[in-house]
Structure 1
Amino acid sequence: MVAVEDDALRQRFGEGRPTKDKMGVTLYQTKNCQLYAIRCGAGEIYAAAATQYLIDKYKVAAVLNYGVVGGCTDNLHPGEVCVVVKVAHYQYDLFAVDNVPAGRYLEYPDRLLPVSTAFTELASPELRRVVCASGDKFVGDAAEKLWLHNEFGADICDMESAAILLTCDRNRVPCLIIKAVADSLSGGAAEYWREKNQTAKSCLDYAVEVIDGL
């Protein structure tokens, strides 16, 4: 699953075989498995819907999300690929009713939602393990990124990871989230547009290593 950068899939696997379903899923054959690829669109709602669709329609054994993110610290630069091990859904806020901090889902032990180790441990050990702050907003402002880092310990930020992780957990399907930094701490939208295609390709290269190792 990818939000917006799908050219890397075609470059890697060719055109694939369109399933002609309502969500535009394309089937690719990798070395060891079938890969149902979907471009979900940006944002938590689109990502949750696409994740549930893949699980229900194709009975997938796992969900792999790759794509580009923003860096929330000054030591993450465009092109760096990371493995997400925890997610903070920072816009989810029940404080006024349950007196719990923003990001806290009561069925989890704290507000950093863990990603299953079933596949994160298969990713290259050279990749940095990170916390991703996820919400329905493109964060381009350096001060806001730093706030996400200081408040949640976030290394990166995106618009899909929380939805994918929560949907997979509800369905007891493991997921792997591999992200590449497109815009650095102070890069903003201009850097995102300049870097997103190449960084998405680099991200997919690492993701395919995990797929081929299954």
Structure 2
Amino acid sequence: MTHPIDTCVLISASEEWRAFLPHFPQTRIESTPYGDCFKMAVDGYPVVFLHGGWGKVAAAGSTQYAILRWSPARIVNIGTCGGFHGQVERGQVILVAKTIIYDIIEQMGDLDDAIRHYTVDFDLTWLPSPTPQPVTTGTIVSADRDIVSADIPNLIRRYNAAVADWESGPIAWIARRNQVPCLILRAVSDLVSESGGEAYQGDDFFQKQCKPLMAEFVRHLPAWLKAFRQ
């Protein structure tokens, strides 16, 4: 199959995109039904960068849109996630080995079956050693909700998770359904504990965290794309 685009890099949250875009000042921005996008060559390969939008609906829709419009050979999702206090550290980069969508309520059948239906396990055997940047391999749980403190013990016990976000699960699921290889990297922007979350105070904490984390992804992205292409 011919792939007009080597890689589609999806960026979900608006703050992540705003922190990412200034690193590419010479690009020509285009609009899509989901968010802005631009194309450029990375090491001679055509790459499209798409602001897919936050939440499960936008994440799933924009992933399918990217696949149908550009037929990328692979999809990479970079962004942030919330971490469970005591399980990870702020700034830690999670190389996603499994995605689980956990905010499913099933009362007509088996809940575990429903959860498994939307669970994706990643084949990471292609990874070089060492990886392009320091990472921790693990599971991320996704839901259309911020992390609720009271949910953390169950998310750790049931899913062996230490981080959560809104989009990784649907992005991974849509990519798998279309048989498009997918890589997800999420940096921990804030921690949530029993007493609440660092980013839940209504200030610009999350915005400030996004800038250095997305800058690090920009710095290492060419090496990740090269490794994923091998």
State the TM-score bracket (shorter-chain normalisation).
0.7 to 0.9
User: What does residue 17 of structure 1 align with?
Assistant: 28
> Is 1:84 aligned with 2:96?
yes
In 2, the alpha carbon distance for the partners of 1:188 and 1:10 equals: 22
User: What does residue 132 of structure 1 align with?
Assistant: 140
Taking a change above 3 Å as real, the CA distance of residues 193 and 126 of structure 1, as seen in their structure-2 partners, is closer
Alignment of 1:106-185 (within 5 A): 106=117, 112-117=119-124, 121-122=127-128, 123-124=131-132, 126-139=134-147, 141-185=148-192
Q: CA deviation at 1:7?
A: 3.5
Match 1:209 to one of 223, 226, 230: 223
Taking a change above 3 Å as real, the CA distance of residues 10 and 192 of structure 1, as seen in their structure-2 partners, is closer
Which secondary structure state, in structure 2, belongs to the residue aligned with residue 178 of structure 1?
strand
In 1, the alpha carbon distance for the partners of 2:98 and 2:171 equals: 12
In 2, the alpha carbon distance for the partners of 1:20 and 1:174 equals: 25
Which secondary structure state, in structure 2, belongs to the residue aligned with residue 101 of structure 1?
helix
Count of paired positions: 207
Higher strand share: 2
Query: What is the Cα-based RMSD across aligned positions, in Å?
Result: 2.4
In 2, the alpha carbon distance for the partners of 1:8 and 1:209 equals: 20
In 2, the alpha carbon distance for the partners of 1:90 and 1:167 equals: 16
Return the TM-score normalized by structure 1.
Answer: 0.84
Match 1:105 to one of 116, 119, 129: 116
Q: Of the two structures, which has the highest relative contact order with CA contacts closer than 8 Å and spacing of 6 or more?
A: 1
Gaps of 5+ in 2: 1-9
Gaps of 5+ in 1: none
Return the TM-score normalized by structure 2.
Answer: 0.79
Taking a change above 3 Å as real, the CA distance of residues 137 and 103 of structure 1, as seen in their structure-2 partners, is farther
In 2, the alpha carbon distance for the partners of 1:87 and 1:81 equals: 15
